[in-house]
Amino acid sequence: MNSPKLAITGLSAVCALGVGREAIVAALRRGAEGFSDQPAPAWAPGATMTAAWVRDFKPAPVIAPMKARRMDRSSQMAIVAADAALREAAWAAAREGPDALGIFLGSGFCGTHSSLTILGTLFARGFEEVSAAAFPNTVPNAPAGQLAIHFGLRGPSMTILQTGTTAESALLCARGQLAQAQCRAALWGGVDELSEYLWFGWRRLGWTGEPSARRVFGRPLDPRSRGFLGGEGAAMLVLEPEEAARARGARPHAVLEYAATGAVAAEPWGFPPIGQVEAAAAFFAAAIAATGAPDLVLGGANGQGRLDRFEAAVLERLVGDRTPVWFPKGQVGESMASTALRTALGVWLIEEGFVPGNPWLRRETAPPAARLQLPAEAVEAAIGRVLIPTVSAGGTLGVVVVRSGAGW
């Protein structure tokens, strides 16, 4: 995706570090980690699930209490993030028209909690006890539908589920619809929620678990880490073609320069073999060649050893130790739509002018073997361009590049 460039005129996020820019940026400056313990599955009374939960989240006053009761958690988080992003972009459907704004969401597991809760009720107590009001929340595109209803939007509405590159795929859909004049602006983002059912499935696969004195989870590039820790949240960004944004008098926070998806050879849901490193590096190098060298890399490593080592080998070839690398999933957890959140974080870091630390490096642990520049503490720095790479199970690849909107 080289042309036309898209202006990011509004953005916001909800994640384990806080709700909105001010809270999240403050947490990054102090090196906070979003992981906490919450009640675990019902079949394990008294246990806890360590994950990057969005704590103390309240949909009011954005969503009226009676409306919030009919939505699942993922829809509530998406609406709260979108409300702030649209306000920042000064976008109003009443003025611009209900068909002018399209919705393009990436999601991994939205609807899982509602679906399995309904099935549990059905099998345990019969269909008479199943809540009809909860049924619309069982589909992954429930947040997109709730966004359209809440904001009165009738433009294109799409939800993409595509392994670890679900947010990138949604972004490419948004770009295509804008290029075809199906809408004048796009509300792009990603949303996911955690549930006990999801945690149970991940644990059965051996991808995640509870940290203990003997086992480490969720620390990118830590040689002892045995898997990731889950995360949840929503990130929403308003995207507009540059000319349309200028005509509207909008002020861009950043420019989305490049986005692409690809793949290297790997078994379905398997990790890409080390022999595919050069092919993956060439995919990301194309983004750098098209846009210029990045000042910061927001990597996708999450604590899953084999996948982390593959990504580290790719990044060594791309930037070596010349460019700082930050791994947000070590603080906000793993979710399939996390690229939207990483993009929002990248824009804020460009505007705030600092590189967050990788706080797990402060602990007593073996240093990462990768030859990368990995700050442990936040450092002030001028950032003009951010590279956001994704390497996922099954060999799928994704990349997003954003640059400063200053002087636009």
Are 102 and 156 spatial neighbours (Cβ–Cβ below 8 Å)? yes
Q: What is the CATH number of domain 6-254?
A: 3.40.47.10
What is the DSSP secondary structure assignment for residue 154, as one 8-state letter? -
pLDDT band at 366 (very low <50, low <70, confident <90, very high): low
* CA–CA distance, 49 with 69 (Å, rounded to integer): 25
| 280, two tokens | 């993956």
Please provide the average confidence, as pLDDT, over all residues in the chain. Answer: 90
Residue ranges of domains in the chain: 6-254, 257-404
Q: Which amino acid, 232?
A: E
Q: Which amino acid, 6?
A: L
Between 94-103, 176-185, 207-216, the lowest mean confidence (pLDDT) is in: 207-216
- If DSSP codes are grouped into helix, strand and coil, which group holds residue 12? strand
* CA–CA distance, 350 with 334 (Å, rounded to integer): 23
First to last CA, the chain: 19
> Average pLDDT in the 64-68 region?
92
Are 381 and 297 spatial neighbours (Cβ–Cβ below 8 Å)? no
Distances (CA, A) of 39 to 45, 196, 346: 8, 9, 32
What are the tens digits of pLDDT across the range 113-134?
A: 777 777 777 778 887 777 777 7
Q: Which amino acid, 236?
A: M
Q: What is the CATH number of domain 257-404?
A: 3.40.47.10
> Average pLDDT in the 221-244 region?
93
Between 5-19, 121-135, 272-286, 297-311, the lowest mean confidence (pLDDT) is in: 121-135
State the Cα torsion 225-298-307-203 to the nearest 10°.
Answer: 60
On the CB side of 128, CA atoms within 13 Å amount to: 1
Total Cβ atoms within 10 A of residue 285: 14
Are 329 and 228 spatial neighbours (Cβ–Cβ below 8 Å)? yes
* CA–CA distance, 224 with 213 (Å, rounded to integer): 11
Q: Looking at beta carbons, which pairs linking 209-216 to residues 24 or more positions away fall under 8 Å?
A: 210/48, 210/49, 210/50, 211/50, 216/303, 216/365
* CA–CA distance, 55 with 232 (Å, rounded to integer): 10
pTM of the model: 0.94
State the Cα torsion 63-196-19-404 to the nearest 10°.
Answer: -120
> Average pLDDT in the 189-197 region?
88
| 239, two tokens | 């995207």
The whole-number pLDDT of residue 47 equals 66
What are the tens digits of pLDDT across the range 237-285?
A: 999 998 889 889 998 999 999 999 999 999 887 889 999 999 999 999 9
- Exposure string for 295-317, b = 16+ CB within 10 A, e = fewer: bbbbbbbbbbbebbbbbbbbbee
